[in-house]
């Protein structure tokens, strides 16, 4: 089962400002496909340093969506890729990120449209 988004953090940083929320969602819509593409590219190129950096950047976007287990997964990917550990797991992490992030974005759009 996919994790449900938690809007507590989003509401706290926007003070309930619907325009600001809409702007953030628009940014997330742009960033998520880029993160997915960049993670897959870095993984294909066996570039663990870049993989770690992208996971780090993606964490803040996912945190805004309140997806704690996905934030934890990105933490794990960031740490393991930085240390060249557990490389066999990276592809699964990226697929999980792709599915969960896309699902979270669909939830956000459903709530705010």
**Cα 53 from Cα 56, distance rounded (Å):** 5
Query: How sure is the predictor about 1, in pLDDT bands with cuts at 50, 70 and 90?
Result: low
Evaluate if residue 112 carries a pLDDT over 90: no
- What's the N-to-C CA distance of the chain in angstroms? 23
Q: What is the DSSP letter of 88?
A: G
The half-sphere exposure of 36 on its side-chain side, counting CA atoms within 13 A, is 14
In order, the DSSP letters of 9-23 are: HHHHHHTT-HHHHHH
**If you average pLDDT over residues 75-98, what whole number do you get?**
97
Residue 28 contacts residue 111 (beta carbons within 8 Å): no
Q: Write down the domain spans for the chain.
A: 8-112
- The CA dihedral of 96, 101, 106, 111, to the nearest 10 degrees, is 130
Residue 97 contacts residue 61 (beta carbons within 8 Å): no
> What pLDDT shows up at residue 86?
97
> What pLDDT shows up at residue 113?
73
Evaluate if residue 2 carries a pLDDT over 90: no
Q: Which CATH architecture has domain 8-112?
A: Up-down Bundle (1.20)
25-42 pLDDT, tens digit each:
889 989 999 999 999 999
- The CA dihedral of 34, 38, 44, 49, to the nearest 10 degrees, is -160
Among 12-26, 69-83, 87-101, whose mean pLDDT is lowest?
12-26
**Cα 3 from Cα 65, distance rounded (Å):** 11
42-82 pLDDT, tens digit each:
999 999 999 999 999 999 889 888 899 999 999 999 999 99
């Amino acid at each position: 089962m996919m994790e449900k988004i938690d809007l507590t953090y989003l509401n706290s940083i926007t003070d309930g400002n619907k325009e600001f929320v809409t702007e953030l969602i628009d940014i997330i819509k742009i960033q998520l496909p880029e993160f997915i593409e960049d993670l897959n590219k870095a993984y294909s190129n066996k570039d663990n340093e870049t993989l770690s950096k992208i996971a780090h950047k993606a964490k803040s976007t996912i945190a805004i969506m309140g997806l704690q287990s996905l934030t934890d997964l990105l933490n794990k990917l960031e740490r393991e890729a930085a240390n060249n550990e557990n490389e066999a797991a990276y592809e699964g992490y990226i697929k999980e990120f792709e599915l969960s992030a896309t699902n979270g974005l669909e939830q956000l759009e459903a709530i705010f449209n």
